[in-house]
Structure 1
Amino acid sequence: MMVRDFGDDDWPGVWRIIRDVVTGQETFPYDPRMTEPQARAMWIESPPGRTVVAVADGRVLGTAKMGPNRPGPGAHVSTASFMVAPDARGSGVGTALCAFALDWARADGYAAMQFNAVVESNHAAVHLYRKQGFDILATVPRAFAHPTLGRVGLHLMYQEF
């Protein structure tokens, strides 16, 4: 598996992943009615941000987007989001994407990375982020409407470099 910059030819694979994740409504607070053009506009970052894909055998297994968490006085803190194809979960794709984003943020001079809305019932992601050095700073109770669990919390997670 290789993590590399997103190219236009990657979009069909990235869109499939985004569509599956967003319509599943279990891990991202995005509108499940999001259209393909809306998804592309939301996911593909412009500089100083970056969008990457994890690929193996010509297939997009996962994708990440990263950039400043906020503009202006908050631009020294980065953020990132990750999505992995359902059949590639548990195979190290998320770990590779997260490590890539952390390395990118450090190399670009960011002081920290912050995740604004990690669904607390997404145990695999929470475990991965904690293993990569993130702390849970706060949890907003019942802020995410999970399709089977009802309202669950959203974690604010942070790692200072």
Structure 2
Amino acid sequence: MQQNTTRRLTYAALMLALGILIPMVFHTFQISGGIFLPMHIPVLLCGFLCGPQFGALCGLVVPLISSLITGMPPMYPTAVAMALELLAYGLMTGLLRKKCNVYLALILSMLVGRAVSGCANLVLLGLAGKSYTLNVFLSSAFVTALPGIIIQLILVPLILIVMKKAGLTDLGK
């Protein structure tokens, strides 16, 4: 029990750090985070590896800490909306990790997270007196983000398979 808790805490801390560092690398090389979604992968992995509580917490704090440290994403409304979206990703992958296969868990988590993002942006931008249309939501959440979605669907299962084969996770047991 103690070893499992220590492992989950360690993985959560690692995913939190990667969730901040990977986007910094992308910004250094001027690679668009809105297209490739580098912050999402560590949060999705955190949910799978550490469960819903750690996944949700990681998702909530990564964009906020990143915003405070680097200014990216801007705190309001982007980082706040992303914190809610990534909270949903971490929570959902954590809840679904042993209930269905990784691809279905990823797709469902991504859909729920994007719905949360859409609602958050609608409210946050509305409070700022700005509009947020269905077309803007669909374009940013699915069209612009398509390369990142594809990368997530390839990379997350691959990382989980490698970790399982190396005995670094109990996922699937």
| The structure with more helix, counted as a fraction of residues | 2
| The structure with more strand, counted as a fraction of residues | 1
> Radius of gyration: which is bigger?
2
TM-score for both structures, normalised by structure 2:
0.29
Higher relative contact order, structure no. (Cα contacts within 8 Å, ≥ 6 residues apart) = 2
